[in-house]
Structure 1
Amino acid sequence: MTDSTLTTSTTTPDPASGADPARPAARTGSRIRVYARLGKLDVYDYYLGTFIVLSAVLLPAGALTARTAALLGVFLAGQILLLMAMTAFDDVTGYRDGSDITNYGPDHPLRNVQRKPLVAGTLTVPQALRFAWVCAAGAALLFALAAALAPHRPAWTAAGLLVLWVVTLQYSYGAKLSYHGFQEVYLVALGFALVILPYGMITGQATGFLLVQAVLFGFGPLMFGVYSNTNDVEGDRSVGRPTVAALTSERGNALFIGVLSLAEFLTIAVACAVGVAPWWFVLLMLPASLLRMRQYLLGFRRGDIMRARRTGFAVHRLGVVLMVAGNLLAAAAG
């Protein structure tokens, strides 16, 4: 998530005491603003997949119907609510096990504690849980509406919507998948699903080119997530959260992230070489690939992990713009 310099002094609560903070939200802004922080609304990177899908169904002229547009809008609203629920549950778990207090405490002044309302004391755990469940229920209703609006209903899209809803809520709550070694795979799978499911409901299929783009879209959050894990290794180790950064040495983690960076580029290159993607797609995506290399050098040559993490957001957003352009070019050419 996006970080900014901590500008306010905050007393860190102790979850071991069993007492939830009850300070009024007015101290850091309106109640709505506090809940927006809990839901991490400012981190919109997963929502950008909608533009990839839109660009893939926009041409030829007239292909985008009112029903299709409504489906995309409803699905986008549903995923926003679902991810707000996920991040709220994540904050509850991180507060209860102490990892957020470690990662956002006074020893980490570059992490803005106001982004963690439970640690900052601007919300209580019951308030956060109510918010999460309301968002989850709203997401379920909107996904059902999206399925009803779908012009095509292959079985895999219906199953995918159900799995997406259930598994997303288990990320760090309930089954706590991210506490059992699945975090990195999960980040890619979530992005993949958010692209391929609405496309499948609109077209009834999943083309090879869109599958490649869905994988690349999933790589975006992964490639700023692993830098976050590198920064948060102390807190994750303290609660037994088995990220690769927490399980390996610094050198092993650097190698892992380097392999991921190379794998992303090879996904593009191989797809072009075998004809799944247009031959020019690797050239189109080259600016994002070069920026990804810069991200790695910032993190592991210069040792500036947080700056490298911020660069990851730029790579992801640039990649989305380039994939949108690729879809429009491919449609115009063929």
Structure 2
Amino acid sequence: MTSELHAGPRHLDAGRPESKARSYARLGKLDVYDYYLSILVVAAAVLPPAAVGAGSLPMLLLFLLGEVCTLVALVSFDDVTGFRDGSDIANYGPNDPLRKKLRKPLVAGTLTDREALRFGWAAAAAGALLWGGAVALAPHRPMWTIVVIAVTYVIALQYSYGLKLSYHGFQEAFLVALGTVLVLAPYGLATGEFSGFLLVQAILFGLGPLMFGVYSNTNDVEGDRGVGRPTVAALTTARGNALFIGALSLGEFLLVLGASLTGVAPWWFVVVLLPASALRARQYHLGFRAHDIMRARRLGFRVHRTYVLLLVVANLLITLGLVGGLAR
């Protein structure tokens, strides 16, 4: 195994070798930008009034760059672990032609284990520096935001490397918590406040990556079981997993409805988000009625991006003063 991990790069197609830059971009999953959209939700909530503070815009930019670097480190370490334990080889192997090996540079042989680790640690160092800079520039520094940023950073690096938290039953919870923090923390740095309405938005944002993650886990169930990675899909039956994902889908809608009914969110919030809720129902139908899990997973990205767009619209309606009678 050691000789395989440190062997030189191999190419799936000798006629079209991957460049190192392209392989590193694939390793960092830079084309999957869905977590990075958190900054749009926050910006729409805090920037238009222009009274939040002169440091808000540069702080948000630094926070976004730190977010990118930290998540690049996370997914790089995840690929290293997945390659070492064989789960990525199983999930992206010849028995699964729908998955593209080049998306996993270690499996494709375009990067070595050592190169991936170096890249991951460099990204982690950059993430720490950038998030530190964001805190330094922030108009406000409530202690809770600094604590959650620090804890999130440490846990992100331990997600599937080091302590390997995702191998101990924390995968689904972490995906939601990460997205929640990426909305709440920069909002707190910009305003110095905690908002129930923004908490609802943050949880909705965090549910987005979870809801394409659980469909991936459904597809990868055999590989995850083989290496002892306890996702819900791996721990339960196919019916139990379907019920779990159905409950998440329904719970997402009930969160929006409850927020509107209780005054935590504007009464019209549930109406604005209806297109995204309908797409979520469509995703479940594709996955567990039409039994097309990978197509349902792809639709999950569209659902998440629709939620982000509608959250931005809702925040702009409030911050620009286009509607009134809103709870914050």
What residue in structure 1 maps to residue 20 of structure 2? 31
Q: Structure 2 length as normaliser, TM-score? A: 0.95
In structure 2, which of residues 79, 88, 93 is the aligned counterpart of residue 100 of structure 1? 88
What residue in structure 2 maps to residue 71 of structure 1? 59
CA distance in 2, matches of 1:158, 1:325: 28
Cα drift, residue 223 of structure 1: 0.3
What residue in structure 2 maps to residue 194 of structure 1? 182
- Map residues 234-273 of structure 1 onto 2, 5 A cutoff: 234-273=222-261
- Map residues 19-58 of structure 1 onto 2, 5 A cutoff: 19-23=5-9, 27-58=16-47
What residue in structure 2 maps to residue 133 of structure 1? 121
- Map residues 225-236 of structure 1 onto 2, 5 A cutoff: 225-236=213-224
Q: Which moved more, 1:323-332 or 1:291-300?
A: 323-332
Q: Which runs of 5+ in 1 are unaligned?
A: 1-14
What is the DSSP-based 3-state SS (H/G/I as helix, E as strand, rest coil) of the residue aligned with 2:96?
coil
Q: Structure 1 length as normaliser, TM-score? A: 0.93
- Give deviations 1:164-214, integer Å, cap 9, x for gaps: 110001110011110000100000000000000000000001211101000
What residue in structure 1 maps to residue 310 of structure 2? 322
1:28–1:34 contact (8 Å) kept in structure 2: no
Q: Which amino acid aligns with 2:43?
A: L
What residue in structure 1 maps to residue 287 of structure 2? 299
Cα drift, residue 18 of structure 1: 4.6
CA distance in 2, matches of 1:89, 1:330: 40
What is the DSSP-based 3-state SS (H/G/I as helix, E as strand, rest coil) of the residue aligned with 2:176?
helix
- Map residues 143-162 of structure 1 onto 2, 5 A cutoff: 143-162=131-150
What is the DSSP-based 3-state SS (H/G/I as helix, E as strand, rest coil) of the residue aligned with 1:28?
coil
Q: Which amino acid aligns with 2:202?
A: A
Cα drift, residue 67 of structure 1: 1.8
1:102–1:235 contact (8 Å) kept in structure 2: yes
Cα drift, residue 58 of structure 1: 2.3
Q: Which amino acid aligns with 1:48?
A: L
CA distance in 1, matches of 2:183, 2:5: 41
What is the DSSP-based 3-state SS (H/G/I as helix, E as strand, rest coil) of the residue aligned with 2:94?
coil
Cα drift, residue 157 of structure 1: 1.0
What is the root-mean-square deviation in Å for CA atoms of aligned residues? 1.3
Q: How many residues align?
A: 319
Q: Which moved more, 1:16-25 or 1:245-254?
A: 16-25
What residue in structure 1 maps to residue 271 of structure 2? 283
1:219–1:264 contact (8 Å) kept in structure 2: yes
Identity %: 64
Q: Which amino acid aligns with 1:211?
A: L
Q: Which amino acid aligns with 1:47?
A: Y
What residue in structure 2 maps to residue 205 of structure 1? 193
CA distance in 2, matches of 1:322, 1:291: 13
In structure 2, which of residues 272, 277, 299 is the aligned counterpart of residue 311 of structure 1? 299
Cα drift, residue 17 of structure 1: 5.6
Q: 1:104 to 1:130 in 2, by over 3 A?
A: same
Q: 1:19 to 1:170 in 2, by over 3 A?
A: closer
Q: Which runs of 5+ in 2 are unaligned?
A: none
What is the DSSP-based 3-state SS (H/G/I as helix, E as strand, rest coil) of the residue aligned with 1:161?
helix
Q: 1:285 to 1:198 in 2, by over 3 A?
A: same
What residue in structure 2 maps to residue 59 of structure 1? 48
CA distance in 2, matches of 1:167, 1:200: 20
- Give deviations 1:136-189, integer Å, cap 9, x for gaps: 000000111001001101111111111111000111001111000010000000
Q: 1:232 to 1:150 in 2, by over 3 A?
A: same
CA distance in 1, matches of 2:92, 2:3: 18
* Runs of 4+ off more than 6 Å: none
Q: Which amino acid aligns with 2:7?
A: P
What is the DSSP-based 3-state SS (H/G/I as helix, E as strand, rest coil) of the residue aligned with 2:139?
coil
Cα drift, residue 65 of structure 1: 5.0
CA distance in 2, matches of 1:275, 1:158: 28
CA distance in 2, matches of 1:144, 1:211: 23
